[in-house]
């Protein structure tokens, strides 16, 4: 029984699958060659992350395929309902990467309030000749403690973000279409834990009362943050998107940054992946990462092991 992990899988995941009698192939097959490779090699399970897609044409043309797995949360690169209608198992790993994404949010957030995204670009260029000038330029940072973080989408990842924010001493405003009240539990390294109740607020309330906003929603059909929404935010607010490209109107975002209404943005995902707009990449108020929210060694181990466990239960 062969499993193709086309976007890779951790060694722990490979070992777990191998121990359960599966052959794991980690060759990265080009999208246009994928159907032919799956059929010629009798692949019964296809594992993807964000690079490979599993659309209707692949599903229709791979009759031997029994399972499609997504190493991560969002499954917008898979035609999920169609696959299920063809009796394929469709699985993902919704909890495995939550902590890693939340930590990236704060990497960007700390970098934003202390201008690290821009300082790291300019110090190699001007650090020797213009040290004092750069020091003055980056001398107006702010602390996160006491500030308000708005979290749009309060599922697993949003709640992990809230836990870190609470530990930092931030106030939380959460908005979610499907929740009314959530209790989050902060587990401390001492073994102690603290339970905090967080009420879900209206979207407009969050927008107008947050110092920083972090987005944690699935792919959407329309923008969540557009020019109208930006205009309602506090002057000097910052935005972090580690969710999906297409939830922010990137043109309106640049306008809001250029006008000074927003102080900075941090983007891990983009509308046009894997070729983000050059205006975003070159903007001096945007902190950038190439869709690495779940890309920690620990998260990849958890993802691989969770996929292996589900595959073994479904296909053996």
Structure confidence by residue, pLDDT tens digits, 145-177: 999 999 999 999 999 999 999 999 999 999 999
Distance between CA atoms of residues 169 and 162, nearest Å? 10
Q: How sure is the predictor about 73, in pLDDT bands with cuts at 50, 70 and 90?
A: confident
* pLDDT computed for residue 94 by the predictor: 86
* pLDDT computed for residue 276 by the predictor: 97
Residue 84: φ, ψ to 5°: -65, -35
* Active-site residue, selected from the candidate residues 70, 244, 283, 302: 244
* pLDDT computed for residue 118 by the predictor: 96
* pLDDT computed for residue 16 by the predictor: 96
Q: Give the mean pLDDT of 215-224.
A: 94
DSSP H stretches of helix in 114-195: 116-126, 131-137, 156-168
CA dihedral 267, 126, 255, 289 (to 10 degrees): -10
- Domains of the chain by range and CATH? 2-94+297-315 (3.40.50.720), 98-288 (3.40.50.720)
Helix (H) or strand (E) holding 255: helix 250-258
Q: Give the mean pLDDT of 67-88.
A: 94
What are 258's two structure tokens? 């250029």
Concerning whether 244 is annotated as a catalytic residue, the answer is yes
Q: Give the mean pLDDT of 288-314.
A: 95
* Active-site residue, selected from the candidate residues 108, 291, 305, 306: 291
* Active-site residue, selected from the candidate residues 23, 273, 277, 309: 273
Per the confidence metrics, is the pTM higher than 0.75?
A: yes
* pLDDT computed for residue 133 by the predictor: 97
Distance between CA atoms of residues 148 and 162, nearest Å? 11
Q: How sure is the predictor about 144, in pLDDT bands with cuts at 50, 70 and 90?
A: very high
Q: Give the mean pLDDT of 226-233.
A: 98
Quote the percentage of the chain above a pLDDT of 90.
95
Q: How sure is the predictor about 101, in pLDDT bands with cuts at 50, 70 and 90?
A: very high
């Amino acid at each position: 029984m062969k499993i193709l992990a086309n976007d890779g899988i951790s060694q722990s995941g490979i070992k777990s699958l191998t121990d359960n009698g599966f052959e794991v192939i980690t060759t990265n097959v080009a999208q246009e060659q994928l159907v032919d490779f799956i059929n010629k090699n009798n692949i019964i399970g296809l594992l993807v992350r964000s690079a490979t897609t599993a659309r209707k044409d692949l599903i229709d043309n791979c009759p031997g395929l029994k399972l499609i797995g997504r190493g991560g949360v969002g499954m917008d690169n898979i035609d999920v309902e169609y696959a299920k209608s063809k009796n394929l198992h469709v699985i993902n790993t919704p909890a495995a990467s939550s902590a890693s994404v939340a930590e990236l949010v704060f990497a960007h957030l700390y970098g934003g309030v202390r201008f690290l995204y821009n300082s790291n670009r300019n110090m190699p260029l001007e650090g020797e000749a213009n040290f004092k000038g750069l020091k003055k330029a980056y001398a107006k940072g702010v602390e996160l403690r006491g500030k308000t973080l708005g979290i749009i989408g309060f599922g697993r990842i949003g709640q992990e973000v809230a836990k870190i924010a609470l530990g930092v001493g931030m106030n939380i405003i959460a908005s979610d279409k499907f929740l009314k009240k959530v209790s989050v539990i902060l587990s401390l390294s001492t073994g102690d834990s603290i339970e905090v109740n967080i009420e879900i607020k209206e979207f407009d309330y969050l927008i107008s009362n947050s110092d920083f906003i972090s987005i944690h929603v699935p792919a959407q059909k329309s923008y969540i943050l557009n020019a109208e929404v930006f205009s309602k935010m506090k002057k000097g607010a910052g935005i972090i998107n580690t969710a999906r490209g297409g939830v922010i109107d990137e043109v309106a975002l640049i306008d809001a940054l250029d006008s000074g209404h927003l102080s900075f943005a941090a983007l891990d995902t983009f509308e046009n992946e894997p070729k983000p707009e050059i205006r975003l990449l070159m903007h001096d108020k945007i902190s950038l990462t190439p869709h690495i929210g779940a890309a920690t060694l620990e998260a990849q181990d958890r993802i691989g092991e969770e996929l292996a466990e589900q595959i073994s239960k479904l296909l053996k």
